């Protein structure tokens, strides 16, 4: 009798995914929705703050260096931009470069000494800037799949071992990159760049090499904590690092003989301080007791698996990143290139900054979905998608409306030139549309990371930006007389296609298959528990935001004693 009794539907499965009928079910569905919102915001809010703190370290460095003069500003901004292209982006997506564009323009108008080469410096600097902000996934984001699913499956020790594997792999990747950074001056001169800027940029990039290696530890540790929804340690460490960076950078730039190189040293110190704080918390906190693993040869066993996810992640980020690089380069070929590049820089800066919000929701979605798939709760994972997409719609509505209402004034944040501000005002409706695409795409990218679809994301970006976005941008910018407006329409056409393709992929997912594949990978086919469609227990309406995955049924319990738990 008991065996054949039909299990009552859970709120997540019946009310949230299918939709309940009747007042009782509606109330119960709303309670489940509200609890999932709490879980997501509990992760997303701190992740936005963490991203902002990391972002401000480099932006504040450029702001301080900008007061030393045009050459120092130009070389520093170029060095940080190139370090993002050739190094930091491989570890993680970066949100930094385009804000430097706006700051560069503003600082040059106010503080930079005017020389006969000012126009050349300005144009070179702006054409060197790129937009890593919209980049989605770096190599370290492979851990969002691996660690998140391992934690959900209660394979706690695997979380620590996979983090060690990622640190090992990224450190090895840093070795050839460090040689590239060391000889950056010669590379820039070889490509025909201005010798003075190349020389100073090369020195700055060489001084950033310690920061590169710190990133090989920081980003895996961030994913380690994120998989466990331990956002407070990341928030504290990044905030402390930023607070230390501000006075340290000021002292090294203005009170020492290092000049602009003092900013590089300050970045090194701040990044390594962040690493030290994260390591201390991981090693001594009771919250990490289950996932803590001593260093052993086991880290070498997962190298192949890590690169299977990490390489598509790097391809995905580079394809999208380079498309925005091409947009800036194309703007330099238009009539009145200084105006066109300035306006596009302001627009890219705006969406880069606002992208932090959907990135936070994407990180939360990645964590929750990977946890649920690892736990063998496919329908709960599907429910997370519904909730996080609802949050994305609300967020994009609020932000885009606020941006549109302030369209006549926000251009003054970046430039005091009326011609630039008026042009930005004309572009504002399209920028609002970009915010909508970014809000949806950022969350869908988080879903992809949680499921391990990095390879699909690479194909999506290839088709969206290189078969659609860039060709349309070139045609509208140069053939129709729309100029910068046409370039922006074109690249946002690519963003629209990217969003649609990711949405189609997400809507067609077989969640039971995703959960089965995740657990087959985790348990390596040995004594694999069966995926159950029986419901997860109801969440209490007055519970605090518990971040652990929905508890699986008995058939989904961790592997038996003779199956390894990592």
**Averaged over 352-376, what is the pLDDT?**
91
Contact status, residue 149 vs residue 370, Cβ threshold 8 Å: yes
- Is 62 or 369 the better-scoring residue by pLDDT? 369
Residue 306: pLDDT band with limits 50, 70, 90: very high
**Averaged over 440-455, what is the pLDDT?**
91
If one counts every other C-beta atom within 10 angstroms of the C-beta of residue 467, the result is 12
Structure confidence by residue, pLDDT tens digits, 459-512: 999 999 999 999 999 999 998 888 888 999 999 999 999 999 999 999 999 999
Q: What is the pLDDT of residue 19?
A: 43
Give the integer Cα–Cα distance in Å for 351 and 215. 25
Q: Directed axis angle between helix 261-284 and helix 23-66, to 10°?
A: 140
Residue 266: pLDDT band with limits 50, 70, 90: very high
Decide: residue 123, CB within 10 A, 0-12 exposed, 13-18 middle, 19+ buried: middle
Helix (H, G, I), strand (E, B) or coil at 289: coil
Q: What is the pLDDT of residue 469?
A: 92
- Percent of the chain surpassing pLDDT 70: 79
Nearest to 554 by CA among 525, 539, 524, 532: 532
- Percent of the chain surpassing pLDDT 90: 41
Average pLDDT, the chain: 79
Nearest to 300 by CA among 165, 170, 147: 165
Contact status, residue 76 vs residue 62, Cβ threshold 8 Å: yes
Domain residue extents for the chain: 32-516
**Averaged over 428-454, what is the pLDDT?**
91
Give the integer Cα–Cα distance in Å for 312 and 498. 16
Expressed in angstroms, the distance from the first to the final Cα of the chain is 38
**Averaged over 361-381, what is the pLDDT?**
92
Token readout for 112 is 């930079």
Structure confidence by residue, pLDDT tens digits, 143-176: 999 999 999 999 999 999 999 999 999 999 999 9
**Averaged over 286-308, what is the pLDDT?**
90
Helices H / strands E in the chain, number of each: 21, 0
Q: Which helix (H) or strand (E) holds 180?
A: helix 156-182
Give the integer Cα–Cα distance in Å for 566 and 560. 12
**Averaged over 312-321, what is the pLDDT?**
81
Contact status, residue 126 vs residue 531, Cβ threshold 8 Å: no
Residue 358, Cα to own-chain centre: how many angstroms? 9
Residue 540: pLDDT band with limits 50, 70, 90: very low
If one counts every other C-beta atom within 10 angstroms of the C-beta of residue 60, the result is 20
pLDDT greater than 50 at residue 558: no
If one counts every other C-beta atom within 10 angstroms of the C-beta of residue 113, the result is 10
pTM: 0.81
Give the integer Cα–Cα distance in Å for 477 and 36. 44
Token readout for 28 is 């119960």
Q: What is the pLDDT of residue 526?
A: 57
Give the integer Cα–Cα distance in Å for 148 and 372. 9
Q: What is the pLDDT of residue 168?
A: 94
**Averaged over 370-398, what is the pLDDT?**
92
Name residues whose C-beta falls within 8 Å of residue 254's C-beta, 6 or more positions apart in sequence: 64, 67
Structure confidence by residue, pLDDT tens digits, 183-223: 988 888 887 778 888 898 899 999 999 999 998 899 999 99
Give the integer Cα–Cα distance in Å for 68 and 140. 35
Helix (H, G, I), strand (E, B) or coil at 153: coil
Q: Which helix (H) or strand (E) holds 202?
A: helix 195-207
Contact status, residue 75 vs residue 206, Cβ threshold 8 Å: no
Residue 336: pLDDT band with limits 50, 70, 90: confident
Give the integer Cα–Cα distance in Å for 232 and 237. 9
Dihedral Cα 472, 475, 477, 481, nearest 10 deg: -130
Q: What is the pLDDT of residue 197?
A: 84
Contact status, residue 327 vs residue 344, Cβ threshold 8 Å: yes
Structure confidence by residue, pLDDT tens digits, 527-537: 555 554 444 43
Structure confidence by residue, pLDDT tens digits, 388-415: 999 999 999 999 999 999 988 888 877 7
Which of 68-72, 309-313, 372-376, 397-401 is least confident? 68-72
């Amino acid at each position: 009798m008991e065996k054949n009794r039909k299990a009552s539907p859970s709120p997540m499965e019946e009310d949230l995914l299918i939709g309940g009928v009747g007042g009782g079910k509606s109330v119960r569905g709303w309670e489940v929705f509200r609890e999932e919102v709490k879980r997501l915001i509990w992760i997303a809010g701190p992740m936005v703050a963490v991203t902002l703190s990391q972002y401000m370290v480099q932006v504040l460095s450029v702001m301080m260096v900008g007061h030393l003069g045009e050459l120092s500003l130009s070389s520093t901004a170029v060095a940080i931009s190139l370090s993002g292209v050739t190094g930091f982006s491989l570890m993680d997506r970066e949100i930094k470069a385009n804000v430097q564009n706006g700051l560069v323009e503003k600082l040059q108008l106010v503080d930079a000494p005017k020389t006969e080469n000012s126009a050349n410096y300005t144009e070179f600097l702006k054409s060197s800037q790129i937009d890593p902000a919209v980049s989605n996934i770096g190599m370290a984001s492979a851990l969002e799949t691996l660690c998140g699913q391992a934690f959900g499956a209660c394979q706690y020790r695997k979380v620590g071992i996979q983090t060690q594997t990622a640190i090992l792999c990224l450190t090895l990747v840093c070795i050839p990159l460090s040689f590239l950074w060391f000889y950056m001056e010669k590379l820039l001169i070889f490509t025909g760049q201005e010798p003075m800027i190349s020389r100073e940029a090369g020195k700055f990039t060489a001084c950033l090499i310690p920061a590169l290696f710190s990133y090989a530890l920081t980003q895996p540790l961030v994913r380690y904590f994120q998989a466990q929804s331990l956002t407070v340690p990341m928030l504290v460490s990044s905030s402390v690092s930023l607070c230390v960076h501000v006075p340290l950078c000021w002292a090294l730039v203005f009170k020492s003989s290092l000049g602009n190189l003092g900013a590089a040293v300050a970045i090194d110190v701040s990044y390594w301080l962040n690493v030290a704080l994260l390591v201390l918390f991981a090693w001594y906190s009771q919250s990490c007791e289950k996932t803590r693993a001593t260093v052993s040869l086991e880290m070498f066993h997962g190298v192949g698996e890590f690169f299977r996810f990490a390489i598509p992640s790097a391809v995905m980020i580079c394809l999208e990143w380079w498309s925005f690089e091409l947009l800036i380069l194309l703007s330099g070929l238009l009539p009145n290139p200084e105006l066109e590049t300035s306006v596009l820089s302001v627009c890219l800066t705006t969406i880069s900054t606002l992208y932090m919000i959907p990135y936070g929701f994407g990180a939360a979605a990645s964590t929750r979905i990977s946890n649920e798939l690892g736990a063998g709760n496919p329908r709960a994972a599907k429910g997370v998608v519904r909730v996080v997409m609802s949050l994305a719609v609300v967020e994009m509505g609020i932000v885009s409306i606020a941006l549109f209402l302030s369209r006549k004034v926000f251009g003054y944040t970046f430039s005091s030139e009326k011609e630039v501000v008026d042009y930005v005002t004309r572009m504002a409706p399209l920028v609002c549309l970009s915010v909508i695409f970014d809000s949806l795409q950022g969350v869908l990218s988080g879903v992809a990371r949680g499921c391990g679809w990095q390879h699909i994301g690479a194909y999506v970006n290839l088709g969206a930006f290189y078969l659609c976005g860039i060709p349309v941008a070139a045609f509208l910018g140069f053939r129709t007389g729309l100029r910068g407006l046409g370039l922006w329409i074109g690249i946002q056409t690519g963003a629209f296609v990217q969003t649609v393709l990711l949405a189609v992929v997400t809507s067609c997912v077989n969640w039971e298959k995703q959960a089965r594949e995740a657990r087959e990978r985790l348990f390596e086919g040995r004594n694999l528990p069966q995926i159950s469609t029986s419901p997860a227990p109801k969440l209490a309406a007055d519970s605090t935001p518990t971040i652990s995955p929905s508890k699986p049924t008995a058939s989904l319990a961790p592997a038996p004693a003779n199956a390894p738990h990592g």
